[in-house]
Amino acid sequence: MAGTGRVKSVRPLPMSRRGRQAGREGTVPTPRAHKVRRVAAIGLSVVVLALAALSLAGVARTHRAADTVARSAGLAAAYDRAYDAVKDEELSERQYRVRPSPGVLSDHAVAGVNLLTALADIERLGTAADRDLVRRVRTLHERYMAGAAALFAAADAGDTPEVNRIDREVTDPAFDEFTREVRDANAAHAAVAAENVQDLRRVESLVFTTTVTGTTAGLLLVVALALVATGFQRRLLRQAADSEHQAHHDALTGLPNRVLFTRRVTEAAASGAPASVLMLDLDRFKEVNDTLGHQYGDELLRQVAARTTAALRAGDTVARLSGDEFAVLLPGAPPEAALVLAERLQQDLHRSFVLGDVTVDIEASVGVAGCPEHGETAEALLRCADIAMYAAKEAKSGVTLYRPSMHTDDSSRLLLLGDLRRALDATDQLTLHYQPKVRLSDGGLHGVEALVRWQHPTRGPISPAEFIPVAENTGLINRLTLYVLRLALQQVRGWLDGGLAIPVAVNLSPRCLLDSELVRHVTGLLREHGVPARLLRLEVTESAVMANPAQATATLTELHDLGIHLSIDDYGTGYSSMAYLKQLPVDELKVDRTFVQHMDTDQDDAILVRGAIELGHNLGMTVVAEGVEGTAHAAALRSLGCDIAQGYHYARPMPGPDLDRWLQEQRAAIPAAAG
């Protein structure tokens, strides 16, 4: 029993020790476990340090790339300002050829200063290559400025052949060379910005991949750090992308700017496929800015951009080049197809624009040029489309396809403008002829209409139909109108001194009605010559009034309040609004000659003339029939109740002295002039 007890008392002890030892072997680290932990700890530390180092390296690299993009964007903006300044210099040079004046010279000088300022910014921000380019451009610009000075001197002297020679041999080559330098450098910096944006994207991808790996390993701290770094990089990416976008797009409309548009036109021209360029300019956009304010003008430009984009195809490019000038690239479209698209676009733009609480109607002039027919480079296509656009604006045709002869037409117009400007400075080239207006009731003289005539010193007589439209499309028409008013009032003063009170009528162009100084000028001329306002009549066309009814009505009301009589000229040829016609302070309606001349043979014309006479009388106006050339016309008009007649049947337009003799010859048959 005792032995058995000993066994029972002794054997559990070793078993118990083995159990406790086994338990301790499962919880106490072995050398291998310590090694694993050390490896894990080292691995974790390495991962954390690697991720931190990678993040820091990515951030540093992102900073460098972002700085490069920002610097490239700044350089692109400086180059863009330099390019705009160069274009402003060219525009001022062209304007001086058309209209030499100190103001144009001042604009040219300001453009030169802007160019030098932009070059200074390029020199400050750019590399050694940019500074070399600045030195070359300054040298070329000095050569250009010397040529421009000689060109201006030749223009002042009226030496057109010398102007053309300097333009061809000096200014144009220099201008084209430094324009190309600026454009190519701008494109290079835009490419650098794009390359750095791609680099930023690669860095972001690497950091993101590493972050995902760290997240899988449970490194929450690394994940947080990576997320912060990723967010920071994304912000930098967005900033870089924004900088790149701003360097190639217009801030107001979001459309491509001149740099991006020129690049796309170059690519389209190099592809070998047909392509066309549209140059679009809004007519009377300045009136919107001047009348409603720049806020409305900006909104109009945004709506024009949206409507233009919506009217074209998906692959076309719409760009805003400057101000109210837009351009369209039509890849794959020959000129004939481009004309169809341009006409459709113009129709869309003729629909009213709602600008807040104001509804505005505008018109657009579009020039079309095709590749390779009219040019094989972006510069040539833009130049040809620009020339066609100005031809459309001058002819009021809406859309015009470029023709090589337009270069010649443009030169002739420039020469005519220069000659007309000099004629206004002379004292013997521009004169007035006066055509009598006769009362149909008794044959008495009602008044006269003043018509300008030009006797060119070398070309002889130049028809008003040739030089009036040229003046109308420039600011010269305002000066010409004041010149005619001065001569007409001088003649009225002479007649008054001779005992005759003969009312004289003078035509006002649409541009004159938009001149805020018109009323002041007319008042001053009446006072200067001592002529009663009742002896002056101003004639305006329907289209001139309807171009801007509110402003036209305000101007005409001021003139009427002075005591000046007002007429609606060429009635029936425009688009009238009865609502505005009855509100206008006019007392005379002139029926256009195109209806009067055929009223005795064309029943439709006779009906139109009768309707115009009845309308005028119902509105309390005197009615004048123009183009009366025979006894039958006079008799028919008299039977319809027309008040006044004017035409070759009574007298052709004649100089003032001839009118005096005509009055003496008619005195027995014609009563005294109306007062």
Whether pLDDT at 247 is above 60: yes
Q: Are residues 398 and 364 in the same domain?
A: yes
pLDDT in tens, 434-453: 999 999 998 889 999 999 99
pLDDT in tens, 182-203: 777 777 777 776 777 677 677 6
Q: Are residues 159 and 308 in the same domain?
A: no
Residue 214, Cβ neighbours under 10 Å: how many?
A: 22
Contacts of 584 (CB under 8 A, 6+ apart): 545, 553, 556, 566, 568
| Residue that wins the pLDDT comparison between 468 and 59 | 468
Q: Considering Cα of 171, then 176, then 181, then 182, what sign does the dihedral take?
A: positive
Q: Are residues 210 and 281 in the same domain?
A: no
Q: Are residues 469 and 491 in the same domain?
A: yes
DSSP 154-176: HHHHT-HHHHHHHIIIIIHHHHH
| Residue that wins the pLDDT comparison between 536 and 244 | 536
Establish if 670 belongs to a structural domain: no
pLDDT in tens, 515-561: 889 999 999 999 999 999 999 999 998 777 776 778 888 899 999 99
Among 248, 279, 300, identify where a domain stops: 248
The string over 88-115, giving b where at least 16 C-beta atoms fall within 10 Å of a residue's C-beta and e elsewhere, is bbbebbebbbbbbeeebbebbeebbebb
Q: Are residues 282 and 379 in the same domain?
A: yes
- For residue 182, the model assigns a pLDDT of 79
Longest dimension (CA), the chain: 181
Contacts of 164 (CB under 8 A, 6+ apart): 411
Whether pLDDT at 33 is above 60: no
CA 558-563-569 angle, 5° bins = 75
Give the burial class of 15: count Cβ atoms within 10 A of its Cβ; 0-12 exposed, 13-18 middle, 19 or more buried: exposed
Contacts of 621 (CB under 8 A, 6+ apart): 586, 587, 588, 589
Q: What angle, rounded to 10 degrees, do the helices at 518-529 and 476-497 form?
A: 30
Whether pLDDT at 672 is above 70: no
Cβ distance 649 to 638 under 8 Å?
A: no
Establish if 10 belongs to a structural domain: no
Cβ distance 85 to 78 under 8 Å?
A: no
Whether pLDDT at 66 is above 70: no
Round to whole Å and give the CA distance between 226 and 209.
10
| Residue that wins the pLDDT comparison between 384 and 236 | 384
pLDDT in tens, 210-237: 667 766 765 655 555 566 567 667 777 7
Establish if 312 belongs to a structural domain: yes
- For residue 667, the model assigns a pLDDT of 73
Among 357, 381, 403, identify where a domain stops: 403
What would the mean pLDDT of 250-256 be, rounded to a whole number? Answer: 92
- Cα dihedral 558, 564, 570, 573, rounded to 10, equals 20
- For residue 224, the model assigns a pLDDT of 58
pLDDT in tens, 141-152: 888 888 888 888
Q: Are residues 277 and 386 in the same domain?
A: yes
Round to whole Å and give the CA distance between 81 and 470.
32
Gap between the terminal Cα atoms of the chain:
166
- For residue 628, the model assigns a pLDDT of 93
Tokens 């000038």 belong to residue: 325
- For residue 177, the model assigns a pLDDT of 82
Establish if 423 belongs to a structural domain: no
Q: Of 571, 519, 525, 524, give the one whose Cα is nearest residue 545.
A: 571
Q: Are residues 198 and 69 in the same domain?
A: yes
Establish if 627 belongs to a structural domain: yes
pLDDT in tens, 584-599: 899 999 998 888 988 8
Percent of the chain with pLDDT over 90: 36
Whether pLDDT at 97 is above 70: yes
| Residue that wins the pLDDT comparison between 486 and 359 | 486
Residue 32's pLDDT band (cuts 50, 70, 90): low
Whether pLDDT at 51 is above 50: yes
**CATH no. for residue 291?**
3.30.70.270
- For residue 471, the model assigns a pLDDT of 85
Q: Considering Cα of 260, then 262, then 264, then 266, what sign does the dihedral take?
A: negative
What is the average pLDDT score of the chain?
Answer: 82
Tokens standing for 378? 């972006």
Whether pLDDT at 268 is above 90: yes
Residue 560, Cβ neighbours under 10 Å: how many?
A: 17
- For residue 673, the model assigns a pLDDT of 44
Establish if 224 belongs to a structural domain: yes
Among 196, 214, 248, identify where a domain stops: 248
- For residue 92, the model assigns a pLDDT of 82
| Residue that wins the pLDDT comparison between 45 and 123 | 123
**CATH no. for residue 594?**
3.20.20.450
The kind and range of the H/E element at 29 are none
Q: Are residues 263 and 381 in the same domain?
A: yes
Establish if 5 belongs to a structural domain: no
pLDDT in tens, 161-177: 888 888 888 888 887 88
Q: Are residues 375 and 283 in the same domain?
A: yes
Q: Total domain count for the chain?
A: 3
pLDDT in tens, 308-342: 999 998 899 999 998 889 999 999 999 999 999 99
Whether pLDDT at 576 is above 60: no
Establish if 421 belongs to a structural domain: no
Q: Are residues 497 and 645 in the same domain?
A: yes
Whether pLDDT at 366 is above 90: yes
Task: Spell out the long-range contacts of 475-480 with Cβ–Cβ below 8 A and sequence spacing 24 or more.
Answer: 475/99, 475/511, 476/99, 476/417, 476/420, 476/421, 476/424, 477/509, 477/511, 477/512, 478/509, 478/511, 478/512, 478/515, 479/424, 480/420, 480/424, 480/452
- For residue 528, the model assigns a pLDDT of 96
Whether pLDDT at 27 is above 60: no
pLDDT in tens, 502-515: 999 999 988 888 88
Q: Are residues 288 and 208 in the same domain?
A: no
Q: Are residues 376 and 447 in the same domain?
A: no
- For residue 545, the model assigns a pLDDT of 78
- For residue 288, the model assigns a pLDDT of 81
Predicted TM-score (pTM) of this structure = 0.47
- For residue 540, the model assigns a pLDDT of 92
Residue 39's pLDDT band (cuts 50, 70, 90): low
Residue 358's pLDDT band (cuts 50, 70, 90): confident
Cβ distance 440 to 645 under 8 Å?
A: yes
Domain that holds residue 285: 258-403
